[in-house]
Structure 1
């Protein structure tokens, strides 16, 4: 009957319905070849036959290569995962199943087919760790592997990209692509043509960070938010001077607040729109962004926190005005700002690759998005050993106070038995408050959050020991395993007898995947373990996404025992996931046109960069001038100058067009008030603006060509590029655009009505 059920799921193309049977048959055949392959002196294939990759002999060779080079014999399920990825799927594998090795085996398989592989990681640490750890495997197979980091020089990057397999953080891969888009000499290019992207933590990269724009900026300007604005808004009171909307995404001055600000500044606000912008930015930073929740301050700088991973969002910042406003709020100097020369979303970066595959512990929950945005399907790989973790029902309380009291009691009771405990909190501030509350009870907890992420490996290494209490944000060792007894066999048996690692969540996340990732810290490779979530009716999830509904009555201990309470929590989480999916879809609808235009611009740019298209266009537009300059300086010098002129104006006009599109999108929601479709209106204006941009490139190039002295440096003749460029990721306005906020309200209302 189980097989019939699987067949029906595949027929209906349900998430996770990829048929594993063909892969399992190949792996079974590989098992029969194991002893014969073990006798081979050299495991490198005699011929580069792409058809050999994926065969039983190939699987047996990969298993033996891993055993010889790493001392690890891949399980059958790991080889099944490898074959599923080689077939172009995202594989879901549980915590502790050895995804790092599966990724390396897959990358080697693609490389043996003769294609270049970019192993996309979430950060520099994991990219470097995996490249070095798996290096001996590649060497055994006659392949090369390299990795790029934020500190890598252009020469080091070229060397890494020249390898068969290149490991790199998604941000670094994207920044290299952006920098290459401004090169004016083919010899300076760093990134080769994209072929295969193998994405680790695929749900995080392909979904959670899909909308994150990677930015290349230049021509620094001073920040727009002034310290005096930050000082002014500190004196304002919520409810009297300003109000916050129900979603907590926007803040508005009341009439009294407007009067107070105008008196303090001595101006009429509405006659000074620039000042209005500064006041609004300062107010947003003051009222809506919370230190140790949305960001931390470390080493005299503001560091954003990645909400899906609980880590510092390296190189990430808000749009310049808001970034400067937060820095002013924290009495810090404004960081450098400037003009965006080009940008690229993570989703657009990954879609450049003709072939994409990936792996993660939680893919089914985002299978719809993986299919919709990347045409990827999910293959669910069974665990090597059955999971015996006990996942308890949520404990739901009426108030936050009741929840926190019960949470401390539960930790105290569990700790008394010696069972190791991992407590997952929703933000940095909560992790620190909980650690202080435990300390007051005489309990010492190791705290792992964005403030001490450098100590992650040491903290996680001890989290499975007897008596350990670890309080962590969502970062909780993703990419690493918590081993019972920290690897000591005697202590491992002792901890297993106590029930293994016990995971406690202090609240439900907006995404069920993040809850599942936290649960997945326990129960690795058949280990015992348990998990439970504590929830209250005052948690943000319920107040933001189910504001019109309240929990059933609680008992005298504050615990809500009515089964409808769990249904309400699940409903709020579904609303949150639905809203975020709709915002993702909406972002992609707008980005899609921009990406098509960018692709056309890059195609034109390549024709100019690699050929004589620029020179021929200018010769056709101004034949007499072209002949005159050739007689003066020679045709080669004129062609070189023509290339620089056209590239400069193409890049300059594209930068201006990006600015126009950003302004257009930010204000497009107002068209909805006139019953117009904002997306149609966006396209209606963006398409002719793009054609006008191309005409402007031609006009400016011709004008410069008429005046230019091709024997002199063109930078001194008005074609000077930014003397310095820098890269960063923009956290899209955390409050969403106005149109995103409209979507959020509408989506929430519709889901409540359906319920």
Structure 2
């Protein structure tokens, strides 16, 4: 039975079809002026940019200029790059200009599509960012497309790892800037740690086009960007708190060894509050007041250190250091440290040197970074499955762009085997058969380990004619991927390997020529080599087409349908034939989601023999349902994390805006004066409560606080004795004395120097308090979930307490700034304030757990032997027990450095 919706779609087309059809009149209008644009000389074509900018300055909008601008880019592209954008590519460019996601299949020329929207939006002169997934693609696209932009009179910059601030500033100042998502995010965070506006490298967030938008805004957005550095020395605090724990008795706490948790009882909490009060560490009345959140965190760590961690079982003390023992292998793990201050608590317990704790100096999620752009757009081959997330979080609509030529790829039903071994044997047999008939094969795996396993099994079966890629060396792997369409080529790749590079049947002639002709002078010899290579690639393409095109073999289904579709989409580009098939086993991770044990026993009863597979469309549908469930769960997790991060983000925006305002102000003395007046207001209100009798006033306390906060010794007790004096008079006298002292200091130092000092003190104090605030929010976040047990919404509780902490931050800022400026004295040649030394930039790849910034995790990454430096064990990664030791001793690892680890 056909639904009404189905009938309507057949008659009128889907909403997507109707939107795409809506662009057709504009495409026709661009085509109508093509001949006229072709007739322009190179100089006349380039001069159109100046003309467009003039029209914008006269009040025209970018939409008004779209038709002539797209026509100019199409013609310039034909002349400079030798590529004329198809009509569907013009449609893709319009979708990007509208601030939506263009879903275009692999091989449809997304990089060229972006140039249309990039050029149009760059005319406004506010900067356009094109975001790529790695440095190689940023450099490649900036170099290639920069020729087109340069021809039209626009400047192109590229931001990659390792540039200086001056280079970054110059590249961001260009009309168009290519950069990776990590670099953009870190530059934003670093900019907001600078002390001079001129030191900031970014110039705003006008318009961004995100390439591989699903990878960057969904997959990588699961983990934040973090800049961290060593915390101030807190060894005294750890030691003070550690001394409290031996005084506790079993009734003071509750231990749950199974959950590895320790909590204080009511009796224990009271006892601790008294101890903390005596030590001057307790703020307010209760330990659980919001301003004590950091103290609670440290106390809980100290309790765990004493009651849950056992020496010589969980850790050992060696060379005045705490070394963790792995609970599964029993091996020592030198260099690894417990996070969140737990390691420092153990160091205090064992009375060894307390190492500084690493603290988050600044962090942001990709969701909140990219939502800062005035207009955001994206492109990818696979976004439809995540359309709800793009809509909810980024307000981005996904529009599917039709292919230039119909897709001829055959997507076969999955083959399901009982075990891993049976599945891999079948895959190896299929690879060998395809290789024999000259069909290029791309084998997709879900992890580096699975790639290595398949490679080993292929070698053991006597087949060695293949390449293994693991998305580690982007430039070299992009070349291998570009030649993966050569007849008989077998390429094994993890999901992300070589993205951004087309697999063209017969091989990618442009990348091949770039490598073959490198260093050759123009002349007959070079021309002959180029002609021979082109002819060879043409013949190879015919052979690959005759063999059936690219054959994509997947070794298992990913938890996201999108990743599967990316792999399939590698085959069948631009109307080429192709084929794809997924091989699964009941031992695959995803198959276990819906009870493969029951299925296994059922298949055995049905008489499924070893090496046989079941193939049925129902299995594909069941797997898709399982994938949808996993996708929905992952989306819920990301959405929930974002709700908490939005609270921090609102506060981050306020602080960063304040910093920029302070840096831009020629004179901050008004801000300083307002802060001083508020401090005086609070002090007077605290010691002279409203409607209190004069005998209830605490004049001595007020005098003491005024001395501490304002560095003034005023006869407040004498004032109080005067007849008819009120609280307003006292406040005015204190304010007058404070203003006079500030004015004298300004006169003594000079107005310019005092302005510089005030701005420096404001910025440094704000940064210091903001970092402490981030730590407090992290601590609060780690315990707020327990509020759910009391039937209270943890998110609402977090919002309320985060707001209280923020108010406390602002109060502390006023007090600290006032106190410092009322005491400041000049020394000769003062050092200008510097941002803190940045020790670590981190963005964890959620699929591998590796830090993308450094490239690998020293404990788990399998490093290439060429990348291991003998003198630096952090570059060795995971080493096989029988491998030669990377230190160069000539011994096996287990008899050299490996022996030290087990000692």
Contact 1:131 1:147 in 2 (8 A): yes
Q: 1:221 to 1:410 in 2, by over 3 A?
A: farther
Question: Which residue, 593, 614, 629 being the options, matches 1:560?
Answer: 614
Distance 2:772 2:362 in 1: 10
Q: CA deviation at 1:610?
A: 1.1
Structure 2 unpaired stretches of 5+: 236-256, 262-301, 316-321, 345-354, 510-536, 677-737, 850-903
Q: Does 1:611 align with 2:665?
A: yes
Q: How does 1:342-353 map to 2 (within 5 A)?
A: 342-353=362-373
- Which residue of the partner structure matches residue 75 of structure 1? 86
Q: Does 1:581 align with 2:635?
A: yes
Q: CA deviation at 1:583?
A: 0.5
- Which residue of the partner structure matches residue 306 of structure 2? 271
Contact 1:512 1:573 in 2 (8 A): yes
Structure 1 unpaired stretches of 5+: 225-249, 255-266, 289-299, 303-316, 325-334, 736-755
Which of these two proteins has the greater Rg computed from alpha carbons?
A: 2
Question: Which residue, 522, 527, 543 being the options, matches 2:576?
Answer: 527
Distance 2:226 2:576 in 1: 44
Q: How does 1:185-584 map to 2 (within 5 A)?
A: 185-219=196-230, 271=306, 279=314, 338-444=358-464, 445-450=466-471, 452-486=473-507, 487=509, 488-544=537-593, 550=599, 553=603, 555-556=608-609, 557-561=611-615, 564-584=618-638
Q: How does 1:5-84 map to 2 (within 5 A)?
A: 5=9, 16=16, 19-41=19-41, 42-43=44-45, 44-45=47-48, 46-48=51-53, 49-50=55-56, 51=61, 54-84=65-95
Q: Deviations over 1:57-95 (max 9, x none)?
A: 332212101111111111111111111111111100110
Distance 2:659 2:835 in 1: 16
- Which residue of the partner structure matches residue 658 of structure 1? 774
Q: CA deviation at 1:301?
A: 12
Distance 1:693 1:546 in 2: 52
Distance 1:284 1:693 in 2: 39
- Which residue of the partner structure matches residue 753 of structure 1? none
Question: Which residue, 680, 691, 695 being the options, matches 2:811?
Answer: 695
Distance 1:101 1:361 in 2: 14
Question: Which residue, 750, 758, 766 being the options, matches 1:642?
Answer: 758
TM-score (norm 2): 0.67
Distance 1:318 1:414 in 2: 50
- Which residue of the partner structure matches residue 329 of structure 1? none
Question: Which residue, 719, 741, 755 being the options, matches 1:625?
Answer: 741
How many residue pairs end up in the alignment?
656
More divergent stretch after superposition (271-280 vs 392-401)? 271-280
Distance 1:318 1:78 in 2: 52
Q: Deviations over 1:80-116 (max 9, x none)?
A: 1111111111100110011111112211110123431
Partner SS, residue 747 of structure 2? helix
Distance 1:102 1:271 in 2: 61
Contact 1:392 1:530 in 2 (8 A): yes
Distance 1:38 1:150 in 2: 40
Contact 2:52 2:123 in 1 (8 A): no
Distance 2:141 2:385 in 1: 26
Q: CA deviation at 1:189?
A: 1.4
Question: Which residue, 96, 118, 121 being the options, matches 2:132?
Answer: 121
Distance 1:166 1:700 in 2: 41
Q: CA deviation at 1:212?
A: 2.3
Contact 1:90 1:379 in 2 (8 A): yes
Q: CA deviation at 1:450?
A: 3.9
Contact 1:395 1:535 in 2 (8 A): yes
Backbone CA RMSD of aligned residues: 3.5
Partner SS, residue 727 of structure 1? strand
Q: Deviations over 1:519-572 (max 9, x none)?
A: 111111111110011111111123257688646526224423465543432232
- Which residue of the partner structure matches residue 112 of structure 2? 101
Partner SS, residue 458 of structure 2? helix
Distance 2:171 2:342 in 1: 36
Contact 1:390 1:531 in 2 (8 A): yes
Partner SS, residue 530 of structure 1? strand
Distance 2:673 2:410 in 1: 75
Distance 1:284 1:196 in 2: 50
Q: CA deviation at 1:684?
A: 2.2
Distance 1:321 1:484 in 2: 55
- Which residue of the partner structure matches residue 740 of structure 1? none
Q: CA deviation at 1:671?
A: 2.1
Partner SS, residue 484 of structure 1? coil
Q: 1:541 to 1:156 in 2, by over 3 A?
A: same
Partner SS, residue 822 of structure 2? helix
Q: 1:40 to 1:97 in 2, by over 3 A?
A: same
Contact 2:227 2:840 in 1 (8 A): yes
Partner SS, residue 163 of structure 2? coil
Q: CA deviation at 1:674?
A: 2.8
Q: CA deviation at 1:506?
A: 0.5
Contact 1:419 1:495 in 2 (8 A): yes
Q: 1:144 to 1:275 in 2, by over 3 A?
A: farther
Distance 1:450 1:268 in 2: 44
Q: CA deviation at 1:149?
A: 0.9
Q: CA deviation at 1:631?
A: 1.5
